[in-house]
Amino acid sequence: MKSIIIGLFLVCIAGIQTTAQDIFKGKVTYTLKTEDADFPMIITTNGSKFKVSMSMEMGSMDMIMDKTAKEQTMILHSQKMYMQLTAARLEKMKGMMGSMGKGLQAPVITEPVRTGETKKILNYICEKIVDKQEDITTEIWVTDKIGYLAFIGSPIVPMPTLANSDAATFFPLEVHSKDKDGETIMQLIAKEVSTSMPGDAEFTIPSDYAPFAFPGSGN
């Protein structure tokens, strides 16, 4: 199984249009587990802006996505720096990872099947839906009680992409992906959910942070 590297790259989150329920607004704390790492990941959203926060050995960092402006910003708190992530920069970062022989097996969820199996997670009744690709099986436990939250993965982060499937119309509280040999690729487990609306300050770059250019990632 290929090595999964988190590095500086975070997952992007986006809401998609649905008539079933409203987009989730609040904060959820997950534990993200891969073969290489095990750390907390916090997602904060007011509906149009999303922030993913992680704390790793290299320090704490945020990824902020503005759905309206279609912008992504990576904030490195230990260095007090930030970087605007254009499509060109993300593509070059992906190329750098590939040249190092690194990669991941993050699935794109396309045809999840509702199983009718339920269990309670954080006091929410969740249903298991399962998606099977050629080499990867992903089990997602979702609820429809707190709005929807659709993950959009990246080629360089170990997160499944849910946005183009029925899974996007729910809120995922657990995600488990395994390869064809039954080895776990990644697990995402919710530990706490808050439905309090976050303020604008949650999505603001600190005024004393400087712009940062990752080597080889310019436009």
User: Domain coordinates of the chain in residue numbers?
Assistant: 12-48+104-205
The pLDDT value recorded for residue 25 is: 94
Query: Would the CA dihedral through 94, 97, 101, 104 be positive or negative?
Result: negative
CA distance 89 to 174: 31
pLDDT recorded at residue 2? 37
Checking DSSP bridges between strand 210-211 and strand 71-76, what pairing results, if any? unpaired
**12-48+104-205 belongs to which CATH class?**
mainly beta
Q: Using a pLDDT cut of 70, give the percent of the chain over it.
A: 70
Q: Is 218 exposed, middle or buried (0-12, 13-18, 19+ CB in 10 A)?
A: exposed
User: How far does CA 61 lie from the centroid of its chain?
Assistant: 14
Residue 17 pLDDT:
44
What's the mean pLDDT when you consider all of the chain?
Answer: 78
pLDDT at 151 over 90: no
Reported pTM: 0.80
CA-derived radius of gyration, the chain: 17
Q: How far is 146 from 92, CA to CA, in rounded Å?
A: 37
Q: What is the pLDDT of residues 17-58, one digit of tens each?
A: 444 578 899 999 999 887 777 888 899 999 889 898 888 766
pLDDT score for 152: 67
The 10s digit of each residue's pLDDT in 71-107 is 788 898 999 999 887 777 766 666 655 554 444 456 6
| Alpha-carbon gap, residue 65 to 85, rounded angstroms | 10
**Strand partners for 125:** 120
CB half-sphere exposure, 189, CA atoms < 13 A: 11
- Please state, for a pLDDT cut of 90, what percent of the chain lies above it: 32
- Mean pLDDT to the nearest integer, 156-176: 74
b (16+ CB within 10 A) / e for 87-109: eebbebbeebbeeeeebbebbbb
What angle is formed at CA 155 by the lines to CA 180 and CA 150, rounded to 5 degrees? 85
Lowest mean pLDDT among 73-82, 111-120, 148-157, 199-208: 148-157
